[in-house]
């Protein structure tokens, strides 16, 4: 079975902190994604990566950056956390032309 693991289920951070969300997949997938999910807004793509060291902006990249130094790991970085970044963050991975598999999600609260 494909496993996508996110480093934390719940996280509470202070405004202005630099926040790292980590995601690891064990199926050698070339594509990895970061989404945020908010009530009434659905899943919105922040960034995706189709290869090591490659990244593309999604629909809402402002205030975020990503890093993919190894194929299995995709990190999301909040450069200076703000309260409007309080959300559920979801990481996913996939092969090209195939379904995506999601991690369990990280519920981030910025206070």
For other proteins, the binding residues (CB under 8 A) are: 4, 31, 33, 42-43, 45, 48, 50, 56, 58, 88, 90, 92, 94, 96-105, 107
Closest to other proteins by CB, 14 or 42: 42
Tokens of 102: 């999601």
Question: Please, what is the minimum distance in Å from the beta carbon of residue 58 to other proteins?
Answer: 7
Round to whole Å and give the CA distance between 16 and 25.
29
Rounded least distance, CB 6 to other proteins, Å: 8
Query: Which letter does DSSP use for residue 72 in this model?
Result: T
In the complex, the smallest distance separating the C-beta of residue 24 from other proteins, rounded to whole angstroms, is: 14
Q: What angle do CA 103, 100, 9 make, to 5 degrees?
A: 10
Enumerate residues 6+ apart whose C-beta is below 8 A from 86.
108, 109, 110
* Closer to other proteins by Cβ: residue 48 or 74: 48
Select 15 or 104, whichever has its Cβ closest to other proteins.
104
User: In angstroms, what is the minimal distance from the CB of 81 to other proteins?
Assistant: 21
Nearer CB in complex with other proteins: 38/79: 38
Q: Assess contact for 95 and 82: CB atoms under 8 A.
A: no
Residue 96 in 3-state DSSP?
coil
């Amino acid at each position: 079975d494909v496993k996508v693991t996110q480093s934390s289920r719940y996280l509470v951070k202070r405004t202005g902190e630099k926040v790292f969300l980590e995601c690891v997949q064990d199926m050698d997938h070339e594509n990895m994604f970061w989404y945020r999910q908010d009530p009434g807004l659905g899943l919105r793509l922040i960034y995706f990566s189709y290869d090591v060291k490659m990244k593309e902006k999604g629909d809402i990249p402002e205030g975020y950056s990503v890093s993919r130094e190894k194929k299995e790991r995709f990190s999301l970085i909040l450069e200076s956390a703000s309260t409007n970044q309080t959300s559920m963050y979801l990481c996913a991975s996939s092969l090209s032309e195939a379904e995506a598999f999601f991690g369990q999600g990280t519920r981030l609260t910025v206070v």
